Amino acid sequence: MKWFLATSYVKVFGGDSYAEITGIAAETVALGKTIDWTVFRVPVLSGEVLDENQGEVNAVHIGDSKGRDALHLERTGLARWILTELDEMKWIGRCPLLANA
């Protein structure tokens, strides 16, 4: 329900941005195995300054059975997740949602 409301908000108040975002994601996924890609969804970003031990990120699918698909993400956590993913490549060819742990 929370994701239905969140995407509805973007559709109503975001103008053409929803269509643009989903179009870019669809075109990227359509590339298949021609390149290594990861399309990640980012909820509401906040910019608090965190200690180096804070800001763990859950990378899950929307509707995660354990409820880890939260609606907020710290910018530092996002940056750390991207840098880690470049090394580990766990989510190649997949579309995770990133959220605060």
Exposed e or buried b per residue across 57-94, where buried means at least 16 C-beta atoms within 10 angstroms of its C-beta: bbbbeeeeeeeebbeebbebbbebbeeebeeeeebeee
CA distance 96 to 68: 12
Tokens 């329900």 belong to residue:
1
The CATH number assigned to the domain with range 2-100 reads 3.40.50.720
Enumerate the domain spans of the chain: 2-100
Considering the entire predicted model, what is its pTM? 0.76
Condensed to tens digits (0 to 9), the pLDDT of residues 6-62 reads 666 666 777 788 788 889 999 999 999 999 999 998 888 887 665 655 668 999 988
Amino acid at 80: R
Q: What is the tens place of the pLDDT at every residue in 64-93?
A: 889 888 888 988 889 999 999 999 999 999
Note the pLDDT of residue 10. 65
